[in-house]
Amino acid sequence: MFMKKAKVPLKMFLTIVFVSFFMFTGCEQQGKISIGMAGSKTPFRISYHFTLFSGQKDGTVRVKTEQKIIIEYKVEINDGILYIGIQSPSHEIIWESIFDGDQSETNTVEIDAVEKGTYNIIIKGQEAKGSFDVSWKTE
């Protein structure tokens, strides 16, 4: 006789299709692409390894009067461009570093905070391949 076909609910089918699509193509959102990206973001650290990263990761640090911001970073870029910058509460870039091509660097930077408030830590990738580990604190 006839065998009944197993019916897969539409919702489950669509979920499988979308998950498969993102697994094989990476996540893309408004010009942002992250493929093979694994890592973490905490209140005082952003650390990721990636096959391809085009986008931005942000962190913040609150600064009181006459404090220093101390940035420690380790960057290993095999291709593309990676940018790390610090933006003051008045939206001025007070420090930045750009890594491109095949470049590795480990460094600690101390910046005198001229104004109190929230500073932004900005990490941008443009077709970057590699890793970064950026942490910060105040003194």
Find the domain containing 35 and state its range: 29-138
Q: Is residue 14 part of a domain?
A: no
For the cut 90, the answer to whether the pLDDT of residue 48 exceeds it is yes
How many domains does the structure of the chain reveal?
1
Residues 66-90 have a mean pLDDT of: 96
pLDDT at 111: 95
Report the distance separating Cα 13 and Cα 87, nearest Å: 45
Positions of E strands within the chain: 27-29, 32-35, 38-42, 45-63, 68-87, 93-100, 103-112, 117-138
- pLDDT band at residue 20, thresholds of 50, 70 and 90? very low
- pTM of structure: 0.76
Which domain CATH number covers 39? 2.60.120.260
